[in-house]
Amino acid sequence: GAVVSQHPSRVICKSGTSVKIECRSLDFQATTMFWYRQFPKKSLMLMATSNEGSKATYEQGVEKDKFLINHASLTLSTLTVTSAHPEDSSFYICSARDLHGADNSPLHFGNGTRLTVT
């Protein structure tokens, strides 16, 4: 089956530093990847849609200068949390849809990254 690898799974960083999270589709290509944030006992919140070779599309209320997204190839998207603060602590999950799949094909998720900012 389609596999999405997300790294790191856990990261602890100090306030003011930046953290990069990688999302790779291992056995398929994806022109579009999605970055979600999830708070405890809450729904997945779409942060942005990452588009290969072009700028990401950010959801309302998500600061694009704080959450930098780069989708440099058909198998890799990165999310960089810049100048992290404790309120950025959360569970971040990426997902991707197979380039050759239909628009209604299921998303494949990475295993998520637990970010803790101290």
| Residues near other proteins (CB under 8 A) | 6, 34, 41-46, 91, 93, 95, 103-104, 106-112, 114
* Residue carrying structure tokens 């405890």: 40
Q: Is 21 helix (H, G, I), strand (E, B) or coil?
A: strand
CB of 80 to other proteins, least distance (A): 20
CB closer to other proteins out of 71 and 97: 97
CB closer to other proteins out of 36 and 67: 36
CB of 93 to other proteins, least distance (A): 5
CB of 81 to other proteins, least distance (A): 18
- Mention every residue, 6+ apart, whose C-beta is less than 8 A from residue 6: 21, 22, 23, 24, 93, 94, 110, 111, 112, 113
Strand positions, DSSP E, 15-104: 19-25, 32-38, 44-51, 57-58, 67-73, 76-81, 90-96
CB closer to other proteins out of 16 and 106: 106
